[in-house]
Amino acid sequence: MGFLNKLFGNTTKEEEKMTNSKLKIGIILGSTRQGRVSPQVGEWVKGIADKRGDADYEIVDIADFKLPFLGEGTGQEPGLAAWNEKLDSLDGFVFVVQEYNHSITGALKNALDSARDAWYNKAAGIVSYGSTGGARAAEHLRGILGELKVADVRTHPTLSLFTDFENGSVFKPQDLHQTNMTAMLDEVIAWSGALKTLR
């Protein structure tokens, strides 16, 4: 039947799912503290991404899920199931990463640890910020993503707390980041589409 469908140009349901549906990309906010700047950065990423029209982009805020600290809850918390369902529904990610003590936040690490299969065979881009563009945190994240079978793309916009924020709190990105943002999103879309064929 598959052969006949191919011969006459018919597509199977599975093939339709692969070709017709838009990729779903989650923009994950890595910080949860009161007064955090990550929502401003996330909105900026989404604004640029939405203009492309090549995928459905949504902000995924770890804080909304009220995740228990790994192993300390019952495992039955609704947020934990919701977190896994949300990740399951996504084809790729853009991590908004902030540098805390030369690494990622505890909240992001806990959220990464709180799912397993839902991460596998997907792609991710990283946008980071900090005094040195959040580079050290981003490099730590890359190591973790390798273990979770998430393919992290090369291009990595790095935002400076000194030149892209006013007083470290009001986000005013320099125009130069647009080029890297476009290249990063191009790579995330290409790899997310390619990896969908593995799942």
- Catalog residues that contact ligand FMN under the rule CB under 6 A: 31, 33, 36-38, 98-102, 130-132, 161
CB 44 to ligand FMN: min, Å: 13
Q: Which is nearer to ligand FMN, 125 or 130 (CB)?
A: 130
Rounded to a whole number of angstroms, the minimum distance from the CB of residue 120 to ligand FMN is 27
Would you say 164 or 187 has its CB closer to ligand FMN?
164
* CA-based torsion, 84, 90, 92, 96: positive or negative: negative
C-alpha 56/C-alpha 22 separation (Å) is: 6
Nearer to ligand FMN, 39 or 79 (CB): 39
**Helix H or strand E segment including 94:** strand 92-98
**Which is nearer to ligand FMN, 133 or 191 (by Cβ)?**
133
What minimum distance in Å lies between the beta carbon of 25 and ligand FMN? 20
Q: How far is the CB of 103 from ligand FMN (least distance, A)?
A: 8
How many CB atoms are closer than 10 A to CB 146?
Answer: 11
- Cβ(181)–Cβ(48) under 8 Å? yes
Nearest by Cα to 170 from 2, 28, 43, 16: 43
Q: Which residue is nearest to ligand FMN (CB)?
A: 130
Strands 165-166 and 170-171: antiparallel
